[in-house]
Amino acid sequence: MSQDPVVRVTRRFRASPERVFDAFLDPAMAGRFMFRTPAGELVRCEVDGRVGGRFTIVERRGDEDAEHLGEFVRIERPRKLVFMFGNEGWDGEFSQVDIDIAPAGDGCELTLTHRMAPKWADWVGRVEEGWTLILGNLGKALG
């Protein structure tokens, strides 16, 4: 039996846990960092920040639109956020993303854990790069 691949990325921010947490649920802020690439253009960002609420973030990349979908399953402000995550074209298959935020020094430390199905094992490196980029974008958006 294959073990599910797990990606874990940790980053410190010079912002309060509340401010970092809220960035994921605020459509204006999420649109500045979630699933954004340097050359992409934000087309749509919708976030219904409640348990059972969904998000859709669409970025135009060249001639194609990359659609990212999710549903919030656990929200414990400002420490824990869990959502099911998928992309258009994944045949409705979703993976779980956990975000844990803890106070640290003059800010906080965020640990993101993404659990994927075994068939995505070859994508672990790209997924880790993607989340690292996203958390870097969050740092820039927070100022």
In whole angstroms, what separates CA 138 from the centre of its chain? 10
According to the CATH classification, is domain 6-142 in 3.30.530.20? yes
pLDDT of residue 27: 97
Residue 1's pLDDT is 47
Average pLDDT over residues 57-78: 95
Average pLDDT, the chain: 94
SS (H, E, C) 47-112: ECCCCCCEEEEEEEECCEEEEEEEEEEEEECCCEEEEEEEECCCCCCCEEEEEEEEEECCEEEEEE
Band (pLDDT 50/70/90 cuts) for residue 23 is very high
Residue 117's pLDDT band (boundaries 50, 70, 90)?
A: confident
Q: Mean pLDDT over residues 93-110, rounded?
A: 96
Task: Kindly list the domain boundaries of the chain, sorted by start residue.
Answer: 6-142
- The region of weakest confidence among 29-33, 92-96, 137-141 is 92-96
- What's the pLDDT at 130? 94
Q: Is the pLDDT of residue 2 over 80?
A: no
Mean pLDDT of 39-49: 96
31-44 as b/e: b if 16+ CB within 10 A: bbbbbbeeeeeeee
Question: What are the CA-CA distances from residue 108 to residues 31, 38, 72, 98, 129 (Å)?
Answer: 21, 25, 22, 16, 21
Instruction: Read off the pLDDT of residues 56-65 as tens digits, 9 standing for 90 and up.
Output: 999 999 999 9
